[in-house]
Every structure is written in structure tokens, then in C-alpha cells.
Structure 1
């Protein structure tokens, strides 16, 4: 999905379990309570927005709560794997081979997509591979049930209620079958996993049949993905990620997202590309997913678009790196990173950092942005290489 629900959707404080809000115009039940009354309110809102009562009835008449969806939502999968472990798992020879074959097979639609939206084939192909294995694994949750369940649930109704109404519009347009359309647990549909509202706004008919069907049509999926990525701010003709070799005397505190230098400035510090040439005039951040002894990358402005697609740092960096491989880059130099922390150690580290006043968010064992920033600051204060990679040595020092 664009903006993957199970990684990027943010909880909204103030929405408590069982809370119901009233819309000013329709006074419709927003979440919780009797499911039938909730669906009646959704129909009322959909009709008020110009959709047909018949389409609303066809969409909602068989809808039911899916407890498996709620279970997935309460236990959202979050990456605790390292970048090396995760990227090795998802960037297989099979996916590289099939990615190249699909770029060749659909060369004309990829070219059209790049001409119209500026997004090159490797970028879309990497998402296509990671999201659904080129359409082979699109999810088996009934889409309407998933959206109705999450819209009725009071954790994030402000997100999912509009998606349910967008699904009604797709039914009206004959682009969704309420009984048969399936996808991911959070309502994403198709080869590149998009939510209904995004399909309505950015869906493109790539094969000329008059419909946007992202489950069946690779051409529709490719063109739609390009349109959406363009909407997120993709910069035509610019790189997104580049593997580099770094000198060991670098000031590691200057690494990390949010800290940028021009490519020329990084080069002056001894940072050298392992493939291609550094874009001298573009700002770039130095990413060290597993510290100064592991792989190193320059992340250019287009890398930020990956974070819009999915805010997981490990997924994002793997997807961006995968796209460089499809574009011709060699396999990364894995280096020899210092050992990291296991789950219990990471939680212990987060607790210690929080006790020192750092905002690391939930004590969950996840090396997220807050924990990375705290680690880097503490490393610097302790006189350790400030590469934001937590190690047993750092934990012992704390």
C-alpha cells in the first residue's frame, strides 16, 4: 500500500475505545456501537456525498466485523530485523530476475509512466516486488470487511471511514466487487497495494479498458503507482539512494537522516561512490543502517518519497536499495558491522535512554528514529563513534 497502514498509520490521541463522534451535517455514528447503525451512518454519508444508495447497499449489505483484522491491527508487524538480514531476505535472485523480466515485458507502459510522471521503472518495480511478488500475493482479506472493521473500530476511524466510502465509489464505478475483492488486512488493494481513496484520486487506466483494476492489470498498477509517487513529490531525473565507501576518520555524528551536505561536500570528506557518480549539487544524508562498519549510502531528496510510502526505515532503505540494483548497481558491501542488540537488550537500552530524558517512544525493542537519534547523542557524549548503531558496548557504558 501506498503509506502502508501497518507501518505508517498514526494513532490519534483523543479517540478512545467506544467513542462515537457526530458529523455536523449528517449526525452519523462515526465509530463503535451497533454495527448495523454504524453502516447506516456510512450509507447516509456516502449518499450525501453524491454516491448512489444502490451502490452503498451493494457494498455494505454483507459487511461484517473481521476479528482477524482487529488482531492484525493490535499486533502490527514491525521490523526488528537488521537491514542486512531483512534486505537479504527480500531481495532475492528470484525477485531480481523477475523484476528485470517485468521491466522488459512492460517496457512501453514503464516508458509512458516515466514520460508522464518522471518515475523510473526500477523504482516502481521494486515496490511491485516487495508488496505482492509482482501480483502473486495480494492478500486474502475481504476488502470491504477489512475497511468496515477498521472504520467501526474507534482507534483510527478518521482514516478508515473515508476509505470505506471510497470503496463504495469503486463499487459504483464497477472497479470493486464487495463479495469477491480481497487484499491486505488494512484494506489495501492490488499489485502495488493501495487504499481505495488513493485509487480514486490517482488511479490510471493503463490498458485502455475504461477501468482502474489494480488487482488484474499490471499496466493499471504501474501507471497508477507512477502517478501516486509523482504526487508524493518525486523529482524527475534525480537519484534516490547510492551506495558509498566512507573513510574511517569521518565525523560519524554528521551521519543520519535530517543531516545533509551536498554531494560535493561529502566527496570532499572522502566519501566515494561504489557505483555511478555522486550528484555534487544535491543535498544528501549519509545512512549507516548498521553503523560505520556496515553498508553506507547517500540518501538524496527522492529517498524521502520512500518514507512517504512506508515509514519503516528498514523497509524503506531496502526498497530504495532494491531499486538501485534493478537499475544496475552491484550488490552492496556488507562490511563487518559490530554486533547489535537482541530484543531484550534493545528494550533495556530504550528504558535507560528514556530515564535519561530521551524521547524514544514506546519501549518496544524497535530501533526507530527516536532511538537512533538518542543513541547517536549518547555515543557522542560518551566519546564513542556516534554512528547511531546500538551495541552491547554502549549498553554496558550506560
Structure 2
């Protein structure tokens, strides 16, 4: 038995891993999909996910958005004006939603320790409280980013996660999301969706296009990243540093914290 295990191990070491070859334009995308399908199957992706991969298209708008990123360079006041309108107006919208679902948000805070204001601030900033969850095909976008040589290593695990979500019935092959494959009410990347997804409405499944599931998943993400229940979250605190796990832009974190303290 030991000899056979050793022989298998040596054969695996001796056999080079044939990774799918990335590219910088659409010309090699179909060939890459065929290669990547072998990797996906070896990783356990089943036929629904493999079919979604086969039907994925090279996402030209995703590539354009990725290559034209300039980062968040606004001063805080300008960021708030452009993204939120005003803190008070944004908080008023969030408070209306909180008053409609207060028992739900209270239950989330009891379970995960994350206040409703923080969750609603994220919800509002990411998708306008679910009104704009994106118009790009999630599978095509994330698969295109995995193919593109610029950030293939980062996006390949998320591409596999998206295909696994299709297998599990968590994601429709035709579902729309943001330009880089972010999905649902709070714009999770697929790998994070699989890792932190929670069933917030008790129907036995996790659907990021359901508000309750998305809010529970967002609360779980923050708690798992180190959120401290009952502690402050303004700049300089440990909880403010957790917001960096959600978005690395300081003005984004500041806007979450400032708006969240007005919600509740």
C-alpha cells in the first residue's frame, strides 16, 4: 500500500500541470475555455457549471471597465455628494427600509453583532438598496477576468466558485451582475459568496439576489473578518479597520461609517 501511494505521488510530481493559457484579447478565449473546462472538471465542477462555462462569452465591457479603472480619488465630501447625494438624505432612505424590517435587522445584529446601519449603508452604496445590481452576465464576466492575463491568478478561483454556484443552484447561468462578476444586493465576488453565504430568510437556500440572504451574508462576512459586536466603528477603531476588508478605499469606509451612525 505504501509503495502504491508513493508511486502515485511521484507520478503526480513528475507530470506537469497544464494550466489553461491566458490571453489579452478575444482571439484565444474559446481555446482557453476548452482548457479551463478540464481544470474545472478536475476541481469537481459538474455538468451545469461546465455548460455555463461553454456558453460564456468574452465580456468586452468587463475588459474595458477593468482596463480603464482609475481608483477612487475623490475627497470625502465629493465622494459623498457623487455617491450618496447627502448623508442625511441617504440615511433617510435607509431608515425607511429599516423601519419596514426592524425585527429582521435586530435579529441579524443579535446573531452577528453587526448593526443595521452598517449593513444598510453597504446595501445603499453598493446597489442603491437593490435597485441597480448590474447588467453584465456574471459567468461571462468572471470567466473573462480569469482568462485575461492581467489578473488571471486572482479571478480564477472566483470563476471556479461561480461555476460551483451554478452547480448548486445558487446562480443562474444567465444572471446579471456588475462588471467584474460581483453579484447580488451587496455585490459579492463568487468566491466570497460561497465562503460567507447565509440563508437569511430560512428557505433552505442561499440567494444573493434575495435581500434577506444578502444582508445575512454581509453580516457574516464582516463578523468573520473580525467585527467586534457592540464596539464603535468610526475611523480609528478596530471595526473601522474591518471595513477595509469590504472595500479598500478609505473614503468608501468613511462614507459607510458616517452614514451608518445616522441610521437606526
Q: Please say whether Structure 1 and Structure 2 have the same fold, judged by a TM-score greater than 0.5.
A: yes
- The 5 Å alignment of 1:231-380 reads 231-241=224-234, 298-327=235-264
Query: 1:82-117: per-residue Cα shift (whole Å, max 9, x none)?
Result: 111222341535422220121222223222221221
RMSD: 1.7
Q: Which has the higher contact order (CA 8 A, sep 6+)?
A: 2
In structure 1, distance between residues paired with 2:48 and 2:261: 43
Q: Runs (4+) of structure 1 moved beyond 4 Å?
A: none
1:153-232 pair list within 5 angstroms: 153-179=148-174, 181-215=175-209, 217-232=210-225
Q: Per-residue CA shift, 1:152-176, capped at 9, x if unaligned?
A: 1001111111111111111111121
Is contact 1:26-1:44 (8 Å) kept? no
User: Of the candidates 94, 100, 108, which is equivalent to residue 99 of structure 1?
Assistant: 94
Unaligned runs of 5+ in 1: 1-23, 242-297, 328-398
Displacement of 1:81 in angstroms is 2.1
Q: What is the CA-CA distance between 1:37 and the residue it aligns to? A: 2.6
Residues 35-56 of structure 1: CA distance to partner in whole angstroms, max 9, x if unpaired?
223112322222222221x123
Q: Distance in 2 between matches of 1:219 and 1:67?
A: 32
Q: Answer 1 or 2: which has greater helix percent.
A: 2
**CA distance, structure 2, for counterparts of residue 317 and residue 25 of structure 1:** 47
Contact 2:22–2:148 under 8 Å retained in 1: yes
Q: Which has the larger radius of gyration?
A: 1
* Structure 2 segments unaligned to the other structure (5+ residues): 1-14
Q: Give the TM-score normalised by structure 2.
A: 0.87
Name the SS for the 2:208 alignment partner: coil
Aligned length: 245
Q: Give 1:116-127 correspondences, 5 Å limit.
A: 116-127=111-122
Cα pair 1:42 1:165 within 8 Å, conserved: no
- Give 2:48's aligned residue: 55
Preserved contact between residue 109 and residue 222 of structure 1 (Cα < 8 Å): no
Shift of 1:25: 6.8
Give the match for residue 19 of structure 2.
28
